[in-house]
Amino acid sequence: MEGRKESAVSRRRPLAVGVLTLALLGTMLALVSTSSGGTDTQQASAQKPSGVISTGKGFGEVYAAKKSTLKHTLFKATLLPKAKMARNIALAGLGRSEKKVNEALALRCWKNNGCTTGTKGKLTVAYIEQFGENVYRQMSKMEFILQALTYPEVGRIIYSSARVDFNKAFADWDAAIAQGVDLIVTYPDFGDAMIPAMKKATDAGIPVATYAWGYVSDPGKNYLTVVGEDTCALGKTYAYVMNNQVKSGKIAFLGGFAGNPLSEGWQKCEAPALRPSIDVVAKEPTDWNPSKVQQVVAGILAKDPDIKGWSYEYGLGMAQGAYAAYRAAGKPFNTVLTLRTDDVGMGCLFNQLKNPNLQMYYYTSGNTQIRVAFTAAMMKLKGAKIPPQIVFPIQLQNQRVRDSCVKGYPQEASATSLIPLSLLKKMYPS
């Protein structure tokens, strides 16, 4: 209860992650974290009339991206990291999505879990997963491949997934290091348990970058950098929604694999920021698997049938799993959802239901953060000093205001992805 008292006070003054700005404009909720310093006005000064945001060039990169590209993947072109070098890397990484690549090769590389690029480039790059068996991670794999194909110096792309096998996870890292890869991008599902593997690569001179706020201890020391949104700020944003939409009653938290840094990051900060009248009655891992989501939600509803809200990362998991559990229980899907991903399938389900008692707020999927992580590692190879954290501001979207059910996109996909739609349809031809 003491923590609740402190959080009640903190809601009457600026929140403690740098500076957080809350805005409720009509029915649209937005929270922007400016934890890295700077202002949108400063960013605006870098915008050019040509429709490009550009801050210069260096280390083989042009720090520039079209405003349309940034708006597509970030909701607003100004939602870039505030720190100068972090912003430069983000612009370079996201701007590379505008380069033409061989989509047929990218698709083969994605299906075959790796490939040679045909450029005779000397670099070998690796995306090492502890768990890659859902749509989100498979889309990240394609973003990684597409990014790699924008670099002629990359001659080989390696991908591996440990399928949640702890021993295989370490074996995959050892194999990559033994093959002499030049950089590694990863999401550390096992959290700090992956530090020995990450540090082994780092000590061998291999830059290691994580995305989707795959935070493990001591970025900049144990590994190169972590890219993503501040998940603590994300949790406080979720709490802001629940405080305003639920007001009082029971809610539940769902997460991915137990101990993963993404789920832990927002959960530890949402709970103390909630009103004392809101009770978190469950906090369950789901492995980001829709079938397990259904089982977990069914179990929670059996004990507490009057859940008023759910906070989670995986929108499609709610559409395919939670909704099925509600239907099986004979309950209307009357709830408030705060979600990290903007999966098309969840947005389309929301629209299909036409339920005035269903509320949904979501963030961008963050798949494109892997491009920024990749570019950060490439710049490190060329001598750049990379910040240990590359932090994107947060803005939640209200589904009633910004529709995530985007026409033409596969139900499994995120419409904020930078994978060309023609390629997405080949990945998910349904």
Q: pLDDT digit string (tens) for 311-344?
A: 999 999 999 999 999 999 999 999 999 999 999 9
This prediction's pTM: 0.88
Report the chain's mean pLDDT, rounded to a whole number: 90
69-107 per-residue burial string, b: 16 or more CB within 10 A, e: under 16: bbebbbbebbbbbbbbbbbbbbbbbbbbbeeebeeebbe
Per-residue confidence (pLDDT) for residue 190, from 0 to 100: 94
Backbone angles phi, psi at 254, to 5 degrees: -115, 150
Which amino acid is it at 141?
K
Q: Give CB contacts under 8 A, 24+ apart, made by 81-84.
A: 81/36, 81/390, 81/391, 81/392, 81/393, 82/34, 82/35, 82/36, 82/37, 82/38, 82/39, 82/42, 82/43, 82/391, 82/393, 83/36, 83/37, 83/38, 83/387, 83/390, 83/391, 84/38, 84/55
- Banded model confidence at residue 2, pLDDT cuts 50, 70, 90: very low
Domain that holds residue 196: 96-228+367-395+420-427
In the chain, pLDDT over 70 holds for what percent of residues?
Answer: 89
| 334 neighbors 265 (Cβ within 8 angstroms) | no
Is the pLDDT reported for residue 419 higher than 60?
yes
**Could you tell me if residue 104 is inside a domain?**
yes
CA-CA-CA-CA dihedral for 152, 155, 160, 166, to nearest 10: -100
Nearest in space to 359 (alpha carbons), one of 29, 11, 32: 29
Q: Read off the tokens for 358.
A: 């269903």
Q: How many CB atoms lie within 10 A of CB 296?
A: 23
- On the question of pLDDT at 418 being above 80, the answer is yes
Q: Does residue 18 belong to any structural domain of this protein?
A: no
Task: Give counts: helices (H), strands (E), the chain.
Answer: 16, 18
Going by pLDDT thresholds of 50, 70 and 90, the confidence category of residue 128 is very high
> How many whole angstroms separate alpha carbon 150 and alpha carbon 122?
14
Please check whether residue 283 lies inside any domain of the structure: no
User: What is the rounded average pLDDT of the residues 298-320?
Assistant: 97
Q: Does position 6 have pLDDT exceeding 50, yes or no?
A: no
* DSSP H/E element including 362: strand 359-362
* 192 falls within a domain: yes
For residue range 262-293, what is the model confidence (pLDDT) as tens digits? 999 999 999 999 999 999 999 999 999 999 99
Residue 167: inside a domain, yes or no?
yes
* Distance, CA of 89 to CA of 416 (rounded, Å): 19
Beta strands (DSSP E) in 90-193 are 114-116, 123-129, 154-161, 183-187
Would residue 254 count as lying in a domain?
no
Q: Is residue 144 part of a domain?
A: yes
- Alpha carbons 61 and 405: distance in angstroms, whole number: 34
pLDDT in tens, 149-190: 999 999 999 999 999 999 999 999 999 999 999 999 999 999
The one-character DSSP state at 219 is B
Nearest CA to 255 out of 337, 191, 314, 322 is that of 314
- DSSP secondary structure string, 294-350? HHHHHHHHHH-TTEEEEEES-HHHIIIIIHHHHHHTT-----EEEES--BHHHHHHH
- The predicted-structure confidence for 29-67, as pLDDT tens digits, reads as follows 444 333 333 333 333 334 444 799 999 999 999 999 999
Structure tokens at 197: 């593997």
Query: What is the total count of domains within the chain?
Result: 1
Give me Rg for the CA atoms of the chain. Answer: 21
pLDDT on residue 50? 77
Q: Report the CATH number at residue 134.
A: 3.40.50.2300
Q: What is the pLDDT of residue 9?
A: 29
Domain-located, residue 277 = no
Spatial separation of the C-alpha atoms in residues 419 and 138, rounded to whole Å: 11
Please report the pLDDT score of residue 67 as a whole number.
98
- The Cα 91–Cα 233 span in angstroms is 22
Residue 430: its pLDDT value, please?
73
Evaluate whether 139 touches 342 at the Cβ level (below 8 Å).
Answer: no
